[in-house]
């Protein structure tokens, strides 16, 4: 009986050896790939968390520089953010933040550079749209109307269409094209939610151009006025 068991065990061992000889390398490589992928995934998640933490810390430095109106410090820290964490949302937020402060400090070229970087580098359509709208506002302020319209004619998410139309109306008014300005303001008025204060501002602009807003919140152009 013992001999029979020994023979069966030996046969099983031989089968295992044969199987491993035939498929052992494949199994080993599959395990290496699986374990390597798992380790890479864990490392990637760790790296992502580490990057986010470091970017957040640097963003806080940008915020402090903005609050202190320290232009040289803003330049230095924002440059570090672009170099080290340019692909993060923190860097794009920092770009919008420093640009606003540059405008307040009457440094339009620095503001445009920061906004242009956000518009070109951000993968977020919302950040891109905000950057382009603010660039258009700077161009409008400097009376570079063609540049402003070029920026406003770019592609924007649907949620920004009302703001874009309103800003186009502003440019066209300053260019003296009343008919086109009215058309853009009408579009903005239709697109803005009736509960927003901004819609009231568009209504004021339309009134100033001789256009009345009807009782059903529809824009009625005063023909012949």
- The residues with which 219 forms a beta bridge, in sequence order, are 213
- The residues with which 213 forms a beta bridge, in sequence order, are 219
Q: What structural domains does the chain harbor?
A: 25-123 (no CATH), 142-225 (1.25.40)
Q: What is the pLDDT of residues 99-153, one digit of tens each?
A: 999 999 999 999 999 999 999 988 889 999 999 999 999 999 999 999 999 999 9
DSSP 72-94: HHHHHHHHHHHHHHTTSHHHHHH
- The 3-state secondary structure of 152-196, one letter per residue: HCCCCCHHHHHHHHHHHHHHHHHHCCHHHHHHHHHHHHHHCCCCC
Q: What is the pLDDT of residues 48-61, one digit of tens each?
A: 566 667 788 888 88
């Amino acid at each position: 009986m013992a001999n029979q068991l020994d023979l069966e065990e030996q046969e099983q061992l031989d089968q295992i050896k044969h199987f491993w000889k035939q498929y052992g390398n494949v199994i080993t490589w599959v395990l290496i790939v699986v374990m390597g992928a798992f380790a890479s995934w864990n490392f990637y998640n760790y790296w992502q968390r580490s990057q986010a933490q470091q970017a957040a810390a640097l963003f806080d430095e940008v915020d402090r520089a903005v609050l202190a109106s320290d232009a040289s410090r803003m330049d230095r820290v924002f440059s570090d953010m672009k170099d080290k964490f340019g692909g993060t949302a923190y860097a794009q937020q920092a770009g919008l933040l420093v640009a606003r402060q540059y405008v307040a400090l009457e440094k339009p070229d620095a503001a445009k550079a920061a906004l242009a970087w956000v518009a070109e580098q951000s993968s977020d359509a919302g950040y891109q749209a905000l950057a382009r709208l603010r660039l258009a506002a700077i161009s409008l302020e400097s009376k570079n109307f063609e540049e402003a319209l070029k920026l406003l004619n770019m592609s924007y998410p649907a949620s920004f269409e009302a703001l874009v139309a309103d800003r186009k109306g502003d440019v066209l008014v300053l260019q003296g094209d009343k008919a086109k300005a009215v058309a853009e303001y009408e579009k903005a008025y239709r697109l803005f939610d009736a509960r927003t204060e901004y819609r009231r501002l568009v209504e004021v602009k339309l009134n100033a151009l001789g256009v009345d807003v009807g009782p059903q919140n529809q824009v009625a152009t005063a023909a012949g006025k």
